[in-house]
Amino acid sequence: MKFRDGMWMTAEGFNVEYAEETYEITQTEKGLSLLCPTRKIFTRGNTLNTSTVTIDIEAAAEGIISVETTHWAGAQNRGPHFELFPDGKPAVEAKISSDEAAGTTTLSAGSLSAVVTNPGEQHAFDIRFRGAASSSSSGARESESDGTRHLTALLGRSVGLAYSPAWSNAMQTGDMRDFSHYMFTQTQLSVGETVHGLGERFGAFNKVGQSVTLWNADGGTSSEQAYKNVSFWLSSRGYGVFIDHPGRVELEVGSERCTRVQTSVEGQRLKWFLIDGPTPRDVLARYAMLTGRPGTLPAWSFGLWLSTSFTTSYDEETVRGFLEGMRARGTQVDVFHYDCFWMKGFRWTDFVFDAERFPDPKAQIARLKASGLVSKVCVWINPYIAQHGAAFREAAAKGYLLRRKNGDVWQWDLWQAGMALVDLTNPAAVAWYKACLATLLDVGVDALKTDFGERIPTRDVAWFDTSVDPERMHNYYAFLYNKVVYEALQARHGNNEAVLFARAACAGTQRFPLVWGGDCESTPEAMAESVRGGLGLGLCGFSFWSNDIGGFEGSPQPWIYKRWVAFGLLCSHSRLHGSSSYRVPWTIDADDPSDQGCSAVLARWTAVKTRLMPYLFAQAAVAVQGGLPLSLRAMCIEFPDDPTSWYLDRQFMVGDSLLAAPVFEESGEVQFYLPQGSWTSLFTGQVRQGPGWFTETHGFDSMPLYVREGTILLLGKKGVKGIVYDYEADVEVCVFQGKPGGWSSSSAAAVVDKSGKKLGTITVGEDGELQGTDVLRGAWSRSAVDALRL
């Protein structure tokens, strides 16, 4: 939302008032409170007929400071509110100091400080934020003369309030029913600074120059809309900003004033947290502490998931035929997913299997698992309840559905006829919904795909919890929905065995993994969109992410399908899923039997991921602990001092040590960038020296997959089928330009078992010999890099 018409004029239809000076500073228990009038105060008379903005700056945790701006403090602060510090708020000391010579007052929260210009004759408004000194030589994060790093600032006319429509007489604001009221702040952008994150966004990776609206929507992957709007962004200068507002947030990222990021919300308050680095890893670790660390996922979820697809026709015979066909062509499926039509049409979601196609679902699922064709089963659900199912009648009668203000159940015909929405602010409705989910778990369901949850109404609605604001519930509903389903799965399967496959999300939803990228087209451009979406979401604390291999809409050409298979099997989680066409490989290319056919390529890349599991599962634990993406991990997380890394949106890291560059051209040509150091191709053993750009051409059975210098990579036994096996047994230990000793991630390998328990760490000693191998079992071996083949 733009409040200005260029540099000099206010946008048509708005009154805009800015905090013009810091008139008074009051020390509080947690920090500083600034009284900032919207005109400069030269005489006592200037204090009359003048609005003020109160700015409360507080130490929230070590390296985290909150900034809250308020116009009218008497306005209700309605919920819902993000669950902050869910694992407990750490103690922090708010240190306040004054520098009379400089005319400033400073609040410090560990490494982070806010420096405020004192009231005085200059009538100044100036708040500067400084972070911990960095050892980096990067010009993007140069140190100040006092050893701190300049992060950002709130300078003149950067904090304020706005009315729409514009009023001509202040008396009109006595009745605010005819006005919208906004609060905004503008943080300074430095020269060359880039901005990333804000959820799973499919446009340009660097958000500078973009107008971004944080409002969950079912918009596919080819628009400015997003399923997962997360009010957090990461700066290349080594800090992050979390906006503590679950409703609509409008951002102008260098798009109204080129040197500022403007954040605006409707209401009387705007609060955000500034999070210090200096590295992206540091920022994400603190952000995870603030909004919650990702949940831990079981090993089986990392395997290949096969879906029935959306509108296709299927029954038990179809399902078994798919799985037998996959096995016959060399691919083991770990999870089978039943999409929408496991239920009858016009009855989604009533939790009842279509009796005509699935007369005995419990027995069918048991037969599938007993056959070894699949180990786990997932089914599709959503929080919408169509009126033609028995679930609707019960929920409506008992008051479990969202209502209109006149008491009617809120309904519409978009998606399902007469569908309603489960009111998750009603504890009784939550208990009922969990009981419905339990009926699915009773028949052998292991995971739940929590689809939809974006189209949450805000007008003419009355939530059971009258304290919540419908506008703030729109995005936040995704958090409640996924939390309820996750808790139901935890209650049945255990805390670390719950698995979602969710589409909608907001800040904090990373606690309930996992998510996938929504409805993409079957084109190389859509695959690139998916990469950008995964990269952005990974910079918002989400460790686990997937997408629809081959694309959701349309029917992929064989070459696109095969290139997407390679990309999809290097994501943390991998699923074959489509809309109106199947994604089993033999339907894509008329069952081409060659080693470059779809079936062979799928078997190849499934085997690659299976063999990588000793590495991937160990890295998953590191990702969860640090709030990091396992894959897709943006290059800037691992190489923040390389300026190029902040612009790379067609490649990613898989954990700490593997670099992957998907192929988007039918010819197999791909251009990619290697940061400084030695990099070894996992497939050929070829060593390249970075930094630099490289161009290669690949068949469908390979792609640029390079191993970082100093890596000790554990690979599972060749030929193993199924993603779950003993990750400490019969492994290959591969050393890539190994560095003697050391316990850094690049020269040590954690060994975990299939439950995720850490058994030990393998390093390379001064004599070049492996140390810590006593935790390995079976016929493990050390491989020479130049002989490595998968």
First to last CA, the chain: 52
Q: Which of 266, 451, 548, 732 is catalytic?
A: 451
β-partners of residue 24 are: 35
Q: Which of 454, 553, 709, 728 is catalytic?
A: 454
CA dihedral 16, 21, 27, 31 (to 10 degrees): 60
Rama region for 218: left / alpha / beta (φ>0; ψ in -120 to 50; rest): beta
Contacts of 739 (CB under 8 A, 6+ apart): 710, 746, 747, 764
Is 68 marked active-site?
A: no
- In angstroms, the Cα distances linking 151 to 115, 257, 599 are 12, 18, 51
Encode 705-740: b = buried (16+ Cβ within 10 Å), e = exposed.
Answer: bbbbbbbbbbbbbeebebbbbebbbbbbbbbbbbbe
**Kind of pairing, strands 31-37 and 195-197?**
unpaired
CA 574, 576, 582 angle in degrees (round to 5)?
A: 180
CA-derived radius of gyration, the chain? 27
CA 308, 310, 315 angle in degrees (round to 5)?
A: 40
**Kind of pairing, strands 732-735 and 781-783?**
parallel
> CA 496, CA 440: separation in Å to the nearest integer?
19
Count of other CB atoms within 10 angstroms of residue 767: 7
> CA 733, CA 785: separation in Å to the nearest integer?
10
Is 529 marked active-site?
A: no
> CA 24, CA 34: separation in Å to the nearest integer?
6
Is 642 marked active-site?
A: no
Cβ burial of 572 (10 Å; 0-12, 13-18, 19+) is buried
Q: Which of 350, 471, 519, 728 is catalytic?
A: 519
**Kind of pairing, strands 15-18 and 24-27?**
unpaired
Contacts of 619 (CB under 8 A, 6+ apart): 630, 654, 655, 656
CB 499 within 8 A of CB 301: yes
**E strand or H helix that includes residue 152:** strand 149-154
- Catalytic residues, which ones? 451, 454, 519
